[in-house]
Structure 1
Amino acid sequence: MIESCPRKRMLLGITILGGLTIFVLIAESHWTQNNNSRKRIFRVEQNSTCFEREKYEIVDECQPCTDFEITSKSIGVCIHTHYKEVLKCASGEMVTRSCDKVAYIEEQKFWKFESFMFLPAFLSTVAVYVRKKVLYKRMVQRVQRQLANSV
């Protein structure tokens, strides 16, 4: 178990894990910057691109398309990302375009993930606490036996 691992080996393992973490963070930020530099192409209903030339107002925030809209293809933008938002251009034209993700759904997923991860973390903490008590009890019993044998 981990109790029998020497201090130098533990420090070496922690250092390697720390270095690997930093490497992954640097590589991920590099790839993310490269991906964001490309212009996002949003699919648009009726091939209207007035929002690229004019000022626009978001009428409906990004929201998921219904199953009916996806399967029936009644709204063409729902086929690509399964999310849509409605814009109103300065000329008065209403445009439906696809969008990436819905903020409140992503937030719900995040908190669901956090709550699911809390349970294993709590169980691990309890297991460590119980294991520590067991090892402490064994140590005390061993010391008591040694003292009893020496008397």
Structure 2
Amino acid sequence: MQNKSTMLEGYPKNRMFMGLGILVACTIIVIIIESNIDVHDHNFQPQIVIENNSTCWLREEYQVIEECHPCTEFEVVSKSLGVCINTHYKEVLRCKSGEIVTRSCDHVAEIERRNLIIFTVVCGVLGFLSYMLVYWRERVIYRRAQLKIERQLNRPLLL
């Protein structure tokens, strides 16, 4: 009685390549569809809250003094800084006229950086675990083959 295995070694190579081809084709189709879908609303304008009603950064050149960073808990709760009410993030600008302005900002770069690091670590861990699983499975199959050959060689010859 043959031992049926539950892994892929029982499938012919042409079926595995066909399955792999289907997966690659589906991936390419999904990437094409996602790149053509416009997920942004063209009428959406990001809400930018300006402290002290200063809009010098809209009219003239400005320099970013402090990059977009989170407001303190006190600023958010007490609403002492108006720009911290909506987004909970702020950045400090210096206009060409010398005026220093605080405006709200989105923390997209920070989130993207964190998400990239998390994604990279998760992919690395999953890749390593997959490699270890395949390595272990290969060793089990190799050992079974060795035992089978050993049993066949040790079997007495019937004449």
* TM-score interval, normalised by the smaller of the two chains: 0.7 to 0.9
Q: 1:127 aligns with which of 126, 133, 139?
A: 133
- Equivalent position SS for 1:77: helix
Distance (whole Å) between structure 2 residues aligned to residue 12 and residue 80 of structure 1? 52
Aligned to 1:149: 155
Matched, 1:47 2:53: yes
One-letter amino acid of the structure 2 residue matched with residue 89 of structure 1: C
Distance (whole Å) between structure 2 residues aligned to residue 66 and residue 98 of structure 1? 13
Structure 2's unaligned 5+ residue stretches are 1-6
Aligned to 1:29: 35
Identity between Structure 1 and Structure 2 (%): 47
Distance (whole Å) between structure 1 residues aligned to residue 27 and residue 54 of structure 2? 45
Offset at residue 133 of structure 1 (A): 0.8
Aligned to 1:65: 71
Distance (whole Å) between structure 2 residues aligned to residue 95 and residue 44 of structure 1? 8
Q: What is the TM-score normalised by the length of structure 2?
A: 0.76
Report the structure number with the largest CA radius of gyration: 2
Offset at residue 58 of structure 1 (A): 0.9
On the 8 A contact 1:70/1:82 being kept in 2, the answer is yes
One-letter amino acid of the structure 2 residue matched with residue 26 of structure 1: I
Q: 2:92 aligns with which of 83, 86, 89?
A: 86
Q: CA RMSD in A?
A: 2.7
Distance (whole Å) between structure 1 residues aligned to residue 41 and residue 101 of structure 2? 24
Aligned to 1:140: 146
Structure 1's unaligned 5+ residue stretches are none
On the 8 A contact 1:62/1:102 being kept in 2, the answer is no
One-letter amino acid of the structure 1 residue matched with residue 20 of structure 2: I
One-letter amino acid of the structure 2 residue matched with residue 59 of structure 1: I
Offset at residue 7 of structure 1 (A): 1.9
Offset at residue 17 of structure 1 (A): 1.6
On the 8 A contact 1:51/1:89 being kept in 2, the answer is yes
User: Residues 8 and 43 (structure 1 numbering): CA distance in 2 closer, same or farther, change over 3 Å?
Assistant: farther
On the 8 A contact 1:84/1:98 being kept in 2, the answer is yes
